[in-house]
Amino acid sequence: MPQMDPAHDLLLLIDIQNDFCPGGALAVTDGDAVVPLANRLSHRFSHVALTQDWHPAGHFSFASSHAGATPFSVIAADHGPQTLWPDHCVQGTDGAAFHPDLDTDAAEVIIRKGCRPTLDSYSAFFENDGSTPTGLAGYVRDRGFSHVVMAGLATDFCVAWSALDARRLGLDVSLVLPACRAIDQDGSLDAAMAEMTAAGVVLSQA
């Protein structure tokens, strides 16, 4: 596994949006604490990409779209189990906007995901069916990146799925743990950490 090379690696900052920060519709504990660390990283790296959850109103993954369903319950979807979430990151709303203190100026590309009404998307690379691309894989390939450094929200969902998909694509992946925060629902953080470690994701403290 190569060392981080800020001049040539891609820094991927995942879903640092208002709805995932304190006061948001799907707040991650201390989610806003990643913002200064993410900014510090983006000032170091020459190549930065951002992802943005971007759901249409009434999205399939919202508990409110299913009669009698409660947030965080799980239903069977065509592509497998689907957690139902509070309405969050609805296109064009303040909740879907990046955290106001996040420095987005360095971003070379912004990938919006979860845009399809009937398909959720955790990974920065593929929708939750595991095959519908977001476009990031093509961008990484065409730009010639081989090592992706990741940070953002939430460690055990969108960050982990992105890291695992990057490994499946043959990329080296480093995860900057201090610049991540987790939901940690029913042991989801331990499970995600174990899966990422087994897949060869480097868990970094710097």
Residue 15 known to be catalytic: yes
Instruction: Spot the catalytic one: 19, 87, 156, 158.
Output: 158
How buried is residue 55: exposed, middle or buried, by Cβ count under 10 Å (0-12/13-18/19+)?
A: buried
Contacts of 47 (CB under 8 A, 6+ apart): 8, 9, 10, 11, 108, 143, 145
Residue 113 known to be catalytic: yes
Separation CA 122–CA 195 (nearest Å): 16
Instruction: Spot the catalytic one: 32, 89, 113, 156.
Output: 113
Residue 129 known to be catalytic: no
Q: Which residues are catalytic?
A: 15, 113, 158
